[in-house]
Every structure is written in structure tokens, then in C-alpha cells.
Structure 1
Amino acid sequence: MVHSILSRLASRGHEVTVYVIPQSRNEAAPAFEEYVHQGIHVVTCSLVDLNRHAMPRRPEIVIGQLGASPFAAKIAQLASAKYVDVVHDCNSRTIRNLVICKPSLAICNTPLVRDLVKMHCSDSTVVRPPVDPSIHATGRGDLATLVNLNKNKGVELFYRIAEAMPHVDFLGVIGGYGEQETRGRPINVEIQEHTADMRAEVWSRTRVLLVPSQRESYAMVSLEAAASGIPVIANAIPGIREAMGGCAVYLNKNDTDLWVDTINRIYTDGAFEARLSALSVDRSRAVYERTRHDIVRGADKVEALAR
């Protein structure tokens, strides 16, 4: 989402630089490096180098997110620039950062997040993360898949389902964050290492995606799967409903038998599976069209701060 906004601003003639820095003072600093990624100037550096490199550029607007927010806000303050915070969730750290950083604009990834944080900033807007169907769409496989094997994503339920369905093969994908739980898994669960090529290594092998998460601010993984017509079975929480609307099957995450029955129906009822598949494809396309407008609006809001 951030990259899409920055690309839009760069295409309008603005000078855009992205700094990749440690997310905390305890994190090891990367080696200093400058390169161009998809038309955007990128600098990886330590917090000390951030001050040395960014301040002489005299930025008009500074954008920060996640653990880097306090450092970005400080640069904005020292440069007398406007500060924009990109908000991905509404946990206590996010609220604390907003209170401390006092952004001129908060860019939120869902309306729900915006409603919870808008009182802590001067202005706010919603920019849903874009999931381009053409990037993710592929043929489908025959596995029941969970992405990110940590407790919040529902790995315990995933293993219970797999154990109850020895006739079905499952795929567990190592996530990019959180403690990954792979010990004691049923023998019909294959582990896929963390990958940047989800289309080739995950979606092309998946028949149904399971999303029994306890918390999600915005379930991008559901829309990635939906681009290939993969049915989605999910826990009925706001972040998943925001992404999938009425195009997923929503189940109680504590009812293992109901999940097993629904998966069995997808594997045995062709008409049911085809209807869910068509709904997934339609949802993927509709949401992407909406997010394209979000990106333009987000870029407009950031650009207006410089005037």
C-alpha cells in the first residue's frame, strides 16, 4: 500500500526516498546501501545515518509506519516537515505512537482501523492494500492451506482439522513473523518454507484456503487466494469480512467439526465449490478496482500537505 502511494507521487514528479532502518534501537543496523526499486530511491541505513542522510535533503513530508514511526516523526520535527503515519492495526503500540508523533495525516488500511484511531490525528483516510489479481492468479491445486503457522493465525485448529481428515493433504506455509509451530503436526501436513513466490509455490497447489485467525486488520492473503478462484473458509472477524465481504464461508473457529464438514463439502460437492470459486474471483476483481481509487485518494491527501 505504501509503495503504491509513493509510486503515484513519484509519477507526479515528486522526489521520493525510502529509508529502510531498524525497527527499534535494539535491532542490528543494516549496512549502508543505496539502490532504485521500481523507480523509487531506496536507502538502507542505521539510525545515525538516517539523520545524516535525510536532514540535508530538507524533506517537506515524512512518512513512517510500524516501529519506525517515532524515528520518522522525529526527522519530520527536526526538518519542520509534515508527518504522515501509515496505520496497519489499532493495538496499544499504534495508539501510543499516534499520541506521541501527532501526525498531520493517518493513512489507515481499513475503515475499522480509521474509526479507532482518527481521534488521535489531525486528518485520516483509508487506503486498502492493493492486491492485483493479475499478479496472483494461477491454476489451483488440491491442498487445504494455512498461511503463517502461529497461534494467532489458528495453527492449533489447522492441525486438529488435518488430524480429523487423514484423506486430505494439507499445506502449512511458514510466515514472515510470529513463532511458527511445526512440531507435532499430523503426517498429512506438508510444510512450505517462507516464500516470496506465493503464486507458484502456494496458490498453484491450493484448493481451499483456511483463515481461522483470532485477529486480522486486513486479510490480504484471502484476496491473493481469491484471485485464483480459491474458496476461503474463515473466522468471522472484521478484518476478514472487510477483505472478503460475503464471498467467504464464515465459521466459528472453535467448532472443529464444522470446519471439517465444510472442507469435505468443498472436496465432494462440485456445484458448491464452483459457486465459492466464482465468488472469490469476483471479489478479488471488485476489491482491486476499489483499492485503485484508494491509492489515488491517498496520494492526493499526502500531496496536499506540501501545498
Structure 2
Amino acid sequence: MTGPDSAAQPSPRKTPQRKTRPRTAKKTATAVRDQESTPAVSVFEGLGRAPVPLRVVARLGYYPPRHNAGSEWMAHNLLRALVARGHTVEVWLSRYSADREPYEVDGVRIVPYAARLDYGAAAWRADVMVSHHENVPSAGALARGMGRPFVVICHNTAPVIFRNIGRGSTALAVYNSLHMQAEAEAFFCEYTTALRPAASIVVRPPVVAADYATAPGDRVTLVNLNADKGGEVFWQLAERMPHVKFLGVRGAYGQQIERRGGLPNVEVIDQVPGDRMRDEVYARTRVLLTPSAHESWGRVAAEAMASGIPVVAAPTPGLSECLAEAGIFADRADLDAWQSTVERLLDPAVWAEASERALARSKGLDPAADLAAWCEAVEALHRRG
């Protein structure tokens, strides 16, 4: 396990060291305010305008604000960037939701499945088609049959995704991390290099810091209480640490783990749309827990770091890449390690040092370059097609 324990407790005789503590905390708060003052839209405005506007049609299962998961918010921000470039973007959903009529989010038009409109006709009019998750096989077959460039956003290592990206100059794989790209290459090398798409790019899930930056609160928080995300770890820690306030946020998917009667130091709230996470989750959070069994990136970790919130994480390849030197890692099965790490982070000096590392990492994850590369890759794909 690695973590903030490397920050030794100051000697009682060294009073100058004690005086540095409030200055460190003040610097962290100032850095958060600096990030808050940056207009969220500036990242998208800075992308400029495309010389040729395209009609982009995406086939996805779910979409915000009904479904708030990391892969859906990544897809939305990528599509939002294309809108900012002057392209027309439509998302056609393949699963039912409560919506019956098309609606818009940040200029992206979403067509619910229950609207019963003609996805095939929309695909026929598309210049570029996009998909992810379970829709890749069918959307890919349709794109190839119609001769349309096809873009696949790869959030996980499911072989069915890699097999159906497509070949040739009009197929583009978008990997959400370097380790995802490496997993795909290993698949293509092991099975058949003939399946490898001609074009690929790594785009880290875009998190605009100004959308999430706030003054941290006092809770130890887990977002999504299902088993794979660490729901059991959350409740066991809360039981062990009755003097600490915990916040559990129900997730968009998976069976949520809850205790009958709860615990007096635990508050559980319903899933929160992305545009309300700052005020309803991160403004209440002191430490974020991500004891995930699997994580290809870990978007909530990047969101929390925008506020300088330290993240205690299981060392999955995705979380390790996302958090880098800001991460505080503990084996998922070592509950003692999780407890001792959270206890250390209750020390203001230890927390402040971990918070500064989180803010520095957040700045390093600025999405501007990735979004520009994404737009150029999609536009180049169309030119080749």
C-alpha cells in the first residue's frame, strides 16, 4: 500500500513546522477557487469550428440525465465537443427510459427508444456513426453495410467490442486509457491482426475541472454502492469508524448494497446527475473511496481531484493510470489498510498534502488537447471515407 503516511508527524519542539499547516490549507483552497473561476464552456469554445460540418449519429443504450455513469458522461462530452466544432449530433437510444420525446443536452439531440422514430433513416443520412458497449456489433454492421465511417468508444476489454470495431480506413477505435489500448493490441495480436482497425486514438474521459471544483466537505464518500464498486468495503469501514461521517451515493447500475436500518454515521442518497455532482456530492466530500474490483479509468476520481479531494483507491490499471502520483492505493481485500489510510487523512496536514497532489493531477488531466485530437480524428475519418 502507498499513501500519505510518508508525511511524518511534526515534532512538538519544531513549532515552525506547525505554522506551515494553515498556509498549506490556504494554498489548496486558493487553487480550488482558481479552478472554479475558469468558465466550463471555454474548453469547448477553444476547439474552433470545423471547415465542413458533419452529421454524426450515435447509437447508445443509455444517456444522461436519466443514466449517470462514467461511460455515458464520457460519450456525452466527446459528442458535445463535436457540437462545439459545428457538427450536428444525434444520439439514438436502444433501451427504454421514461422519456417519450427527443430532448437536448448541451446541443446534443437525444432520441429516446420510446419515441419510435426511424433510426435506420437517421443512419442513412449520417456522415459518421458512433457507438459503444453492447450496440457496437449491430451499429457496426449497419455502418459497414451503408458505407459509413464508424467510431467505437472502448470503455472496457470485452472481446465482442474489439471484434466489431471494423477494418480499413473508415474505422476508428477510441480507447479511454493507455492500458485499454494495450489490452486491445494484445487481443489483436493473440487472435488476428486482421481485425485491428486502421486508426486508433487514446482519449482520456474528459473532465472539465470547473464543472466540479468546489470547497470539499466533511464526508468519506463512495459513488455507486454496488459490489464491484466496493459497497461492502464502504459499509464495513463505516461500521469500524463510527466517529467519521460517510456518504453513499446510489449508482446508475448494479444491485446497490445497503444495510437495513443503516448506520447513524452514514447517509445514503439517490444517484445524482453529472451537473449536480459538484454541489450535492463533492461539496460534501472530504475523502473519496474507489475500492473497485474493475475500473478502466475511474471518472469519479478525476472529478473529485478537481476539488483537491484525496482519493483512496484499489490499484486497478485504470485507477492507477487516472490517479498516477496523486493516488493513495490499498488492496481491496485489506480492510485494515483502508481504515488506517482514512484515519491518517483525518489529520489536516496529511490531508492538505494529499489534496495538493490531487489538484496537481487534476490540472495534468486538462481535457483540451484530448478533445481537440478526438475532433480531428473524427473529421479525418470522414475525409478518408
CA distance in 2, matches of 1:31, 1:272: 46
Cα 1:239–1:55 shift into 2, 3 Å: closer
Which residues of structure 2 form unaligned runs of 5+? 1-73, 189-194
Whose relative contact order is higher, 1 or 2, with alpha carbons under 8 Å and at least 6 apart?
A: 2
CA distance in 1, matches of 2:220, 2:80: 36
Match of 2:368 among 267, 271, 292: 292
CA distance in 1, matches of 2:353, 2:292: 24
Moved more, 200-209 or 3-12: 3-12
Deviations 1:68-97 (A, max 9, x none): 223322331332112111111113xxx213
Structure ID, larger Rg: 2
| Aligned twin of 1:189 | 266
| Structure 1 residue matching 2:279: 3-state secondary structure | helix
Contact 2:90 2:110 in 1 (8 A): yes
Letter in 1 for 2:232: E
CA distance in 2, matches of 1:7, 1:170: 34
Q: Note the C-alpha offset of 1:48.
A: 7.0
Contact 2:101 2:115 in 1 (8 A): no
Match of 2:243 among 167, 175, 179: 167
Q: Note the C-alpha offset of 1:51.
A: 3.8
| Aligned twin of 2:51 | none
Contact 1:210 1:234 in 2 (8 A): yes
| Structure 2 residue matching 1:152: 3-state secondary structure | coil
Whether 1:8 aligns to 2:81 is yes
Match of 1:238 among 303, 314, 317: 317
Cα 1:273–1:61 shift into 2, 3 Å: same
| Structure 1 residue matching 2:242: 3-state secondary structure | coil
Whether 1:62 aligns to 2:137 is no
Cα 1:10–1:161 shift into 2, 3 Å: closer
Letter in 1 for 2:196: C
Contact 2:151 2:165 in 1 (8 A): no
Identity of aligned residues (%): 36
Q: Note the C-alpha offset of 1:55.
A: 4.3
Aligned-residue CA RMSD (Å): 2.1
Q: Note the C-alpha offset of 1:139.
A: 1.5
Moved more, 75-84 or 107-116: 75-84
CA distance in 2, matches of 1:214, 1:223: 18
Contact 1:62 1:75 in 2 (8 A): no
Residues 74-153 of structure 1 mapped to structure 2, 5 A cutoff: 74-91=141-158, 95-102=159-166, 104-118=171-185, 119=188, 120-122=195-197, 123-153=199-229
Contact 2:124 2:146 in 1 (8 A): no
Deviations 1:156-209 (A, max 9, x none): 122111111111111111011111011245432211111111111111111111
Letter in 1 for 2:121: H
Cα 1:8–1:140 shift into 2, 3 Å: closer
Cα 1:274–1:40 shift into 2, 3 Å: same
CA distance in 2, matches of 1:171, 1:13: 40
Q: After TM superposition, where is structure 1 displaced by more than 6 Å over at least 4 residues in a row?
A: none
Whether 1:283 aligns to 2:361 is yes
Cα 1:47–1:98 shift into 2, 3 Å: farther
Moved more, 150-159 or 181-190: 181-190
Cα 1:206–1:76 shift into 2, 3 Å: same
Q: Note the C-alpha offset of 1:254.
A: 1.7
Letter in 2 for 1:193: D
Contact 1:29 1:47 in 2 (8 A): no
Cα 1:193–1:206 shift into 2, 3 Å: same
Aligned pairs, number: 295
Whether 1:41 aligns to 2:114 is no
Contact 1:21 1:46 in 2 (8 A): no
Cα 1:250–1:80 shift into 2, 3 Å: same
